[in-house]
Amino acid sequence: MPRLDNLRRRLIGTPLPTSAHHEERYSNAEALAILSSDALSSVAYATQEIVLVLGMGGAAALGFTLPITALIVALMLVVASSYRQTIKAYPHGGGSYRVSQQNLGQTPGLVAGASLSIDYVLTVAVSVAAGIAALTSYVPALDPERVPLCLLAVLLVMLANLRGVSSSARFLSVPTYLFMAAVVTLLVAGAIKSGLGQLPPLPVAEQQRLLEAAHQGRQGLQAIGPLLLMRAFSSGCAALTGIEAISDSVAAFRPVEWRNARRVLVVMVLMLAVMFSGISVLASQSGLVVEDNGPTLLYQLGERIFGDGPLLFVLQLATLLILLLAANTAFADFPRLAAFLAQDGFLPRQLTSLGDRLVFSNGILALSALAGLLLVLVEGSVSRLIPLYAVGVFISFTLSQAGMVMHWWRLRDRGWRTRALVNGVGALITAVVGAVLLISKFTQGAWVVVLAIPLLVMLYRRIRSHYDHVARRLQMASDGRLTLPPPPPPGGGTPTVVLVGQLHRGSYEALCFARSIASDLVAVHVDLAGDQGEAFREQWSRQLPEVPLEVLPSPYRSLVDPVTRFVVGFEQQHHKDHRSFCVVVLPVFVTRRRWENLLHNQSTIRLRRALRERGTRVVTTVGFYL
């Protein structure tokens, strides 16, 4: 155990006190870099996925790249206009889960929460896979190690987030601005070379040969038809992922929060539209062909425009870094969403706890495990992940905008009809696009998302049902004085410490047992939140004034350390000779089903082990059967 603790300290740093926790506030420049990385990084693979699908229709189908790009850019502007309304209405953060839950009801809220959860896992997987693809395009010898490199990237991003990486806002801004500068330089240089006739397109015969080679052994070339175009459009819609990130984090901006958030949203969408459109124009003019797991489209453009020089290296490095930063955006948002769901009782309560570095460590670990498993299953392939990607995003888009329509209808303040119309149009368009995505991608893997969302909603409800049952079993009067059994006769009993987290039926029964054996009884409560100790002391004095209570501060949110220190002191006080014993009583829940143990923090096991290691001889648990 000490060795593991030392390793953990080296990897993620020493614990931070709760007093150091504060809501980070970003300047507009920092917010653009950090909160827009997910959306802006999508230009590294969005056009590529359009070209990859259209390539299945031959050289003639590649001519549809620009019309599809224009349609996606128009959709981008509609979604951004809708989210501008959400930002002002929810200045403390208007994530799809909260907006849907408050305006449409619990079930739509859970559907939005499930969709976002899946999207965040896919964001990490797609961003990491695309980043490693940028690396292996530049260094082809690393391609056989694609999956281990993906897992290493996830591990590094996970460790950075466990250390509290969000505090380094200026450092994290570098990859985004470097990527934006590299892509804009690429577009300007490409436009100049194209105007000078130095960027000739591939000959049609050569293009056709490469397309046939790229699709040999798979499905072969397909006829150009509505389904092929729908699939290309739905793959390109990956460019819209991440647009909602700013509306989720309005409270992280400096005052006036909603106004600054709207400004950053506008700049982000304009930059995204320019870079996405520019890459599509250059790709269309060059007639480039993309192979699955081959060199990326962005790399091919960089090689043709920059040559094999330092600018190509900077482009690939910037692409790798921003894609890893895009994964980091999901690491910031998923734990927060999981904490919201856990606060409402739909996920294990452990997800609400802050770790040593004042981050939601359990959520970070869960996201890392799920993304790593997914990357192993798809062998680190971006193209195999894209069919799963945007479906959940558009479901959450639609529910969020529909929720905003209900919000304006209920509020009915001045100008509400115009705002409701903007969000209504956004909801309608994203619903239609979501249906297109679902139809075109269903057989390619979107059915997994369609199946996973209702399964997650069922899981959420099952967890909530368990917590509701626990609350009913533990419920007791919160004001009336409680009666305890009489203590042992004078001269009998043993000095006893009983740990009390909350005053409910489980802890009350543990107190009753402790009172029946104690010659000297003291209850111990650890104030993990840092601001609840006085309220608990007042409740205790009303209900159990005859039992002494010790409220232990825990500035580092540790249960084990304050309790073990107190017990050691208590034992030293009462161990006047080696024939006397002290008893430590720990309340514990006994669940009806074994899997339900996962929904409780199992702190009793860790505390009992720690007490044994420090020499406490009698540690007993009092079970409360749920």
Rounded Cα distance, 316 and 274, in Å = 19
- Which range has the worst mean pLDDT, 123-137, 470-484, 573-587? 573-587
Judge if the upstream peptide bond of residue 256 is cis by omega within 30 degrees of 0.
Answer: yes
- Residue 624: which region, alpha, beta or left (left: phi > 0; alpha: psi -120 to 50)? beta
Q: CB atoms < 10 A from the CB of 546, how many? A: 11
Rounded Cα distance, 66 and 85, in Å = 29
- Dihedral sign, Cα of residue 71, residue 76, residue 81, residue 86: positive
Exposure letters 297-334 (e unless 16+ CB within 10 A, then b): bbbbbbbbbbeeeebbebbbbbbbbbbbbbbbbbbbbb
Helix, strand, coil percentages for the chain (3-state, nearest 5): 70, 5, 25
Asked whether the beta carbons of 84 and 270 are under 8 A apart, the reply is no
- Residue 549: which region, alpha, beta or left (left: phi > 0; alpha: psi -120 to 50)? beta
Tens digits of residue pLDDT in 254-290: 888 889 999 999 999 999 999 999 999 998 888 887 7
Length of the chain: 626
Could you tell me which residue, 605 or 273, shows the higher pLDDT? 273
529 contact partners, CB below 8 Å, separation of at least 6: 18
Tens digits of residue pLDDT in 326-383: 887 788 788 888 888 998 999 998 888 776 666 788 889 999 999 999 999 988 888 7
pLDDT of 13 > 70? The answer is: no
What is the per-residue pLDDT for 172?
72
User: CA geometry: angle at 336 spanning 355 and 34, to 5°?
Assistant: 100
Tens digits of residue pLDDT in 394-415: 888 899 889 999 999 998 888 8
What is the per-residue pLDDT for 599?
81
User: CA geometry: angle at 512 spanning 511 and 515, to 5°?
Assistant: 80
Q: Count of alpha carbons within 13 Å of 478, Cβ hemisphere only?
A: 8
Asked whether the beta carbons of 268 and 42 are under 8 A apart, the reply is no
What is the per-residue pLDDT for 217?
46
pLDDT of 219 > 60? The answer is: no
pLDDT of 469 > 60? The answer is: yes
Asked whether the beta carbons of 44 and 319 are under 8 A apart, the reply is yes
pLDDT of 531 > 80? The answer is: no
Tens digits of residue pLDDT in 56-88: 877 778 888 999 999 999 999 988 888 888 888
What is the per-residue pLDDT for 477?
67
Tens digits of residue pLDDT in 231-242: 888 888 888 888
Q: What is the DSSP letter of 164?
A: T
Rounded Cα distance, 43 and 283, in Å = 12
Mean pLDDT of 481-499: 84
Taking all residues of the chain, what is their mean pLDDT, rounded to a whole number? 84
Angle between helices 2-12 and 146-162 (to 10 degrees): 90
Tens digits of residue pLDDT in 501-523: 888 888 888 899 988 888 888 99
Tens digits of residue pLDDT in 103-151: 999 999 999 999 989 988 998 998 899 889 888 888 888 888 999 999 9
30 contact partners, CB below 8 Å, separation of at least 6: 169, 170, 173
